[in-house]
Amino acid sequence: MTTALKLVLLFPLIGVVFGLTFGRRLPEKVVGWISSLCVGAAFVSAVIAVSGFLGLEHGEAGVSVVLFEWIATGPVHIDAALWLDQLSSVMILVVTGVGFLIHVYSIGYMHGDWGFGRFFTWMNLFTFAMLLLVLGDSLAMLFIGWEGVGLCSYLLIGFWFEKDSAADAGRKAFVVNRIGDAAFISGMLALFALFGTLNIQEIIHLSPEVFAVGGSAVTIITLLLFVGATGKSAQIPLHIWLPDAMEGPTPVSALIHAATMVTAGVYLVARMGSIFIMAPTTLAVVALVGALTAIVAGLIGIAQHDIKKVLAYSTVSQLGFMFLALGAGAFAVGIFHLMTHAFFKGLLFLGAGSVIHAMSDKQDMREMGGLRKKLPITHATMVIAGLALAGIPFFSGFFSKDEILYEAWAGPNGHPLFWVLGAIAAVLTGIYIFRLLYLTFWSKSRVPDDIHPHESPKVMTVPLMILAVLAAVGGFIGLPKVLGGGAWIQDFIGTATGAAAHGAEAVGELGAEAAHGGGGLQVILMVVSVLLALTGFWIARRWYGREEPYPEVPEQAVPGLWKAMRQKFYFDEFYFLIIGKPLLKLSEWLYRFFDVKIIDGTVNGAGQVTNTLARWIAGLQVGHVGIYALALAGGAAIRTETGKGLSNG
Amino acid sequence: MTLTSYLILSAILFTLGVLGVLLRRNVIVILMSVELMLNAVNLAMVAFSRFTLGLDGQVMSFLIIAIAAAEAAVGLALVVQIARDRRTVDVDDLTLLRG
Amino acid sequence: MNAQDLTLFGSIWAHWLSWTILIPVLGALAIAIVPKDRHTLMKGIALVVSLIVFVMGIAIWFSFDPDTAAFQMTESMRWIPGIGASYLVGIDGMSMILVVLTAFLTPIALLGTWTSVTEKMKGYTASILMLEAGMIGVFVARDLFLFYIFWEAMLIPMYLLIGVWGGPRRIYAAVKFILYTLVGSFLMLIAILALYFLHGKLTGVYTFDLAAFEQIAIPFGAQTWLFLAFTFAFCIKVPLWPFHTWLPDAHVEAPTFGSVILAGVLLKMGTYGLLRFSLPLFPVAATLAVPYLATLSIIGITYGGLVAWVQKDIKSLVAYSSVAHLGFVVLGIFTFRAEGLSGSMLQMVNHGLSTGALFILVGYIYQRRHTRQIDDFGGLAKVMPIYAAILLVVAFSSAGLPGLNGFVGEFLILIAAFQVSPWMAIPAIPGIIIAALYLLRLLRGVIWGPLDKEENKVLKDLNLREILTMVPLLVLIVMIGIFPKPFLRPLEPVAAKIEKRMNSVRQPVRYVIETPSPGDPESRDTVPADETAAPEATPAESDEPNSAEMVT
């Protein structure tokens, strides 16, 4: 099993080395398939490793595999070690499984691109880094993966680097992420100062002795970690990079900016769940930020014309849901939604990619419509994903989102207010996803005459279909107990996050009836949340189910709000005004004034003074040897005189 | 002969040298005057050595002779270069180093 | 390997360090007798000689015992007995790693700039070798007189490199470089003499031996002034903000080789001096200076980064980034904690590799386009994919991406700083964001974006020589990032020793020391393992009996 676990990391790394050496020399097909198979092999290894882990005796919290000693000096000892428990099991399966499908899809999508080999090299590198992130047993190891995925995200967003917008978007993503990372590092430093280690299990083990529940230390540290998470997971106020990240090729958006990397923040909070649960204040902040992000991103998503931008804001919004769950203290549920989201959002992006492919790289929904007939497979799969996203019963997203809303109300740290915010976001979700489906597939065709949409090749549609199956039925592993299910996934992950003991495990022990708030509340909330999703659908149908959806109904009804939504509530402009511009001005000033004028001015001034003085003294140098000689002789005479005087005196 | 007479001779030679350096314009003559001064010192050194029964003075005089030789060599080489370059050996014309 | 057993090399081995200094000098002399127009021969000699030195450096690395802080491969000779100056050389882990870095970077830089200089080849190649000799001398000297001579001697070839083979404003830059440094080293000279007479007065023995100076307790007042003089000299060299303005000028005007060595090795001499002299000789004053120097380094980190961000010339961007990076090194030094000190020493190497590599890379495109303005480039990844890939790795190494070398050092420094005080670490952290800002700006401007300049469309990708030059650097950049242990190991005893030394005076810093507190003599040579394992558990006065006698 430990070998299998090492292989999980090794295979993508082989893919990277292969891509670097042969990526430009071998034909596309070979490069693409070998890279994909590396990820596929990693998936198989992951399955073996996880099944090996499941076969272990009970009582094992997880499996640790030490690779080698990474940094060791003085009191610092950081091993390069892996940790496999329930949480990382789910994550590696999602990362390699969804990753494999997206790799295969990319073979078709990236066909003919001059950077084909480069693309697959970086995708493999990403997979490697992401696996490192979820498998790392210490925060430092996690951080390697954390920055590694950031690097790959930077490279892949800017994949078409000849476009200014792509190159800028990559840079923006990395810098915004770095702001989060800086907070993350601060948190790590504080943890090290308190615990003398960065090993996650040790920290969790020692935390009851070091931290007081609700104390300022734990609150500050968890807040810092959470800021790190907001950077990676695109939560307010650091969400601005994700929509721009859509400049990258669509499979990248699917894998990195929907299914896996952006969930790293969620993973981090869940991983450190036992610490977060000790800081109720932080959890409230997490929940509020999550809920607000879900609403704000949902609103912005409704008003976008670019199909990928809609999905990007949808991702931001769904990540908000996950944080809402985390903040409510239901860590396992957050991870559950992370998993179902990986299926249906990955699928939505791949579907969108298929649409864009068919539309000859057009992404504006105003020029789409009526694609249902032209792209039957894409249409069918995207509808399934859309239903899952909206939370229509018995699709995967229904179970996870329903759980989130329930926990937001009744979770260990829940509050009805959180539920209300979540409910609003749920309605928004219904609106934007059905708007997307209407404008793309169902409304009358607005496709320009020179474009002839066609269904994508098998290599792209087969992954779509597999993901569609997962998106449809993937939720049943988390079937809640009130519906007669076992809430298996919640229990499973709950053992790892520990904190979920309040939620899922209690359910397991006492039965559905006895769970906080009781099963009655859960059933009621479930019905309400179905109604919310249907409300979203109904609104979208009222607005966009017409013969001619443009101009859009809300645009006419509330033009001011619509404009603000179109312009993403001016976050970018605001940041530029209060941070970007002053910082640039300050830097310019530091350079042009402080460095050149003050410091160098002082230095050169000292030189100038010396120079002037020297010029003046140089006047004594008349250039006549005779005069020098006279001065010499005179001086000697005077010296002799005084010398005599001294010796006599 | 007493020490004093040697010293007086030495002083006279030295003064002649100083005057030569101060008053003459020709670089070669100035160099010769410098040599004169050095040899005046040599004379004093040797005289001291003779009358105080120490060898230090003689050692010093050898050093001075060596220096004088070096000085003459470098100095004359410079003079030759100057003469070639400036077509003059008059120190009053050589004022390039005026500040 | 026990080299003493090899009788054939026995005598050479006994003077191994001297030979590493002497061989470049001999090489320079050999170049001096080569006919004027045999350029390739001169470069060949320089390369072969520097490779020989590199091989000797490798031998040093492998024969070095990394488990002790004692000086190894020591040589001791009477030199000027009249003033007590002697020829004392030897290396501990820190010296060793810097000597090897020097021996490594010189041939790399030479190969990387093989065709960049075409005139006055004799002086150029001879200067390179003299520079190498001087730098190695600085790192191995254990006698302050000798150290000072190497310190000054090394300035001359560098001055020539900038002033003769530099860019349009080379004279200004060279004079600024040498005057800045001389101001500092002049003060250092006075301090060395003061130390010399102080030691003579206290013990009756007049010597320049560093080990002897560490034995005496320097009165508090003198300690302050001497510390200031030494530290001022080193801070100029580092360069610590606000003494940094010579650096951008020197870098921009210097030929590529000069920039590489300047960033790669010369700047390390400042931080090396702090670790070798300022801290162990004047621990009390150093402890008092922590807030000030930490503040200056933090300002340097932020300021250097911000100013680098708005540079238009790639070389000055990298130069200002050095100010930021060296700020981290100084910050780590003044934590006085083992992990911070190791981190700083490792970071010196890291900076040498990353920034050296960056300068070589800048040199590559400068030679092709004869401009270094970021705005003149763009989209080079299209025509020079290999170049772009290498620049990418090096830039991210400089930005401190985990998994590459820069992170390990920075992280250790920050860990140490945070344990001293959160206020020492947290203000430095924005520097990490700013590093991303300016390095990504560099990448964005040079390799990304549209390839819209006609001149850039025909650029050739790196040739074999240029790639081979970069390979060793890249290997080390990745290796230190993933497996830093072999590099941290020799530094560890040195760091532990300095930490112990600083701990011995940590508590009663406000008191005047009037009685000697030398510490036990063995402590210079060996640090017991148990004390390195738990340095914070060692109370200040327990192992330093005399420091308890500090009077109020």
pLDDT-flagged residues of chain C (< 50)? 1-6, 508-552
Query: Which tokens go with C436?
Result: 């991303």
What part of B 79-98 touches A (C-beta under 8 Å)?
Answer: 91-92, 94-98
Higher pLDDT, A642 or A207: A207
- Tell me what pLDDT residue C522 has: 41
The whole-angstrom separation of Cα C511 and Cα C284 is 9
- Chain A residues with CB under 8 Å of C499 CB are 74
Q: Which of C536, C537, C492, C540 is nearest to C69 (CA)?
A: C492
A449-468 per-position pLDDT tens digit: 888 888 888 888 898 999 99
The whole-angstrom separation of Cα A8 and Cα C545 is 56
- Provide the domain count of chain B: 1
A510-523 per-position pLDDT tens digit: 333 334 445 678 88
Band (pLDDT 50/70/90 cuts) for residue A1 is confident
Question: How far from the centroid of its chain's Cα atoms is residue A620's Cα?
Answer: 74
Query: Which tokens go with B76?
Result: 């004359």
Report CB contact under 8 Å: A158, C448: yes
B91 within domain boundaries: no
3-state secondary structure at position C87: strand
Quick one: DSSP state of residue C275?
I
Rounded to two decimals, the pTM is 0.86
* Alpha helix stretches (DSSP H) within C370-463: 380-383, 385-398, 405-420, 422-425, 430-446, 454-457
Q: Which of C253, C274, C264, C224 is nearest to C358 (CA)?
A: C264
Q: Which helix (H) or strand (E) holds A494?
A: helix A488-497
Query: Partners for B (CB, 8 Å, 3+ pairs)?
Result: A
The whole-angstrom separation of Cα C51 and Cα A457 is 57
Q: What mean pLDDT is reported for chain A?
A: 86
**Cα dihedral: C502, C506, C511, C515 (round 10):** -40
3-state secondary structure at position A445: coil
B39 within domain boundaries: yes
Q: Which long-range contacts (CB under 8 A, 24 or more apart) does A534-539 make?
A: A534/A392, A534/A430, A535/A427, A535/A430, A536/A390, A536/A426, A536/A427, A536/A428, A536/A429, A536/A430, A536/A431, A536/A433, A536/A434, A537/A390, A537/A392, A537/A430, A537/A434, A539/A427, A539/A430, A539/A431
Report CB contact under 8 Å: A599, C429: no
Cis amide prior to C484 (ω within 30 degrees):
no
The whole-angstrom separation of Cα A488 and Cα C135 is 66
* A646 contacts chain B (CB < 8 A): no
- Tell me what pLDDT residue A460 has: 87
The whole-angstrom separation of Cα C261 and Cα C311 is 21
Query: Which tokens go with A295?
Result: 């609403």
Give me Rg for the CA atoms of chain A.
31
- Burial class of residue A212 (count of CB atoms within 10 Å of its CB; 0-12, 13-18, 19+): exposed
Residue A391 in this model has a pLDDT that exceeds 90: no
Chain B nearest-CA distance from A649, in A, is 24
- Tell me what pLDDT residue A482 has: 66
Which residue(s) pair with C91 in the sheet?
C72
Higher pLDDT, A495 or A433: A433
- Tell me what pLDDT residue C505 has: 76
B14-32 per-position pLDDT tens digit: 999 988 888 888 889 989 9
Higher pLDDT, B95 or A190: A190
- Tell me what pLDDT residue A370 has: 82
- Chain B residues with CB under 8 Å of A628 CB are none
Q: Which of A267, A247, A259, A262 is nearest to A172 (CA)?
A: A247
Domain that holds residue B73: 3-86
- Tell me what pLDDT residue C37 has: 86
Most confident of A245-249, A537-541, C294-298, C524-528: C294-298
Band (pLDDT 50/70/90 cuts) for residue A617 is confident
Q: Tokens 């390997």 appear where?
A: C1
Q: Which of C328, C335, C503, C500 is nearest to C417 (CA)?
A: C335
| Phi, psi angle pair for A580, to nearest 5° | -55, -55
Query: To 5 degrees, how large is the angle CA C356–CA C359–CA C364?
Result: 130
Pairing of strands C85-91, A76-84: unpaired
3-state secondary structure at position A83: strand
ipTM score of complex: 0.89
B99 within domain boundaries: no
- Burial class of residue A129 (count of CB atoms within 10 Å of its CB; 0-12, 13-18, 19+): buried
Residue A622 in this model has a pLDDT that exceeds 80: no
- Tell me what pLDDT residue A59 has: 61
CATH code at position B49? 1.10.287.3510
- Burial class of residue A615 (count of CB atoms within 10 Å of its CB; 0-12, 13-18, 19+): exposed
- A517, A508 contact by CB (below 8 A): no
The whole-angstrom separation of Cα A4 and Cα A22 is 26
Chain A nearest-CA distance from B56, in A, is 23
Residue A308 in this model has a pLDDT that exceeds 60: yes
Residue A176 CB neighbours (<10 A): 26
Band (pLDDT 50/70/90 cuts) for residue A541 is confident
- Burial class of residue B2 (count of CB atoms within 10 Å of its CB; 0-12, 13-18, 19+): exposed
Band (pLDDT 50/70/90 cuts) for residue B43 is very high
Lowest mean pLDDT among A259-263, A498-502, C78-82: A498-502
A122-154 per-position pLDDT tens digit: 999 999 999 999 999 999 999 999 999 999 999
**Residue ranges of E strands in C7-121:** 72-80, 85-91
Indicate which of C418, C434, C494 best probes the interface with A, i.e. most A CBs within 10 Å of its own CB: C418
Query: Which tokens go with A168?
Result: 């800028």
Report CB contact under 8 Å: B99, A621: yes
Q: Which residue of A has its CA nearest to B93?
A: A624
| Phi, psi angle pair for C541, to nearest 5° | -95, -5
